[in-house]
Chain A
Amino acid sequence: LELSQDRFRGKNGMKRPFALALTLGLLAGCGPVQSTAYLIDAQVQIEAARTAGADKYALYEYTAANLYLHQSRVETGYSNYDNALLYAKKASEFARQAKTNAEAAASQEAGGTSGGSQTP
């Protein structure tokens, strides 16, 4: 798991449920719990990216993150937890990248010095 301490220190109110679900998933080791945990994580990441202006400055990554999140939910609905987990992870990854790129682009536009990130 590539969970950063920053994410746990996020300002949204979903930290506690996510932590609880993750803990339960790790303990139980079962698919539904794991995928649900990652879904929640992806949602958090996407929300963070959007807050960072990803829907304007990192449209590719932000769009991909939302698509993968949606597909993860679809797979969960079909009880395909393996795929749901996979897509949820990708959604989180794209969301993180979107947030990073958006922050970089925003600072550059604002005259900052941070360099643009490379797209995957």
Chain B
Amino acid sequence: MPVTRFTITKPPPRPLSAAETAAKYKLPRAEAEAVTQYVARDILPVRSTPSGRFVGRSKAKRKVAAKRAR
């Protein structure tokens, strides 16, 4: 079935930043920062720290990396 797309008569404004998004959705600053930190940690590849810990990505991926290192 062919579909009708939205006409978009006026382009939307530029996308909000994460801080502006948090304010729009009435998210407390501490919670918004926790989300930002989680994402920053998650998006990085898994790497080992000098202390032997694995950081970054998901818990599952950290477990896999630790197992491989053993």
Chain B associates with chain A: no
* Interface residue ranges, B against A (CB under 8 Å): none
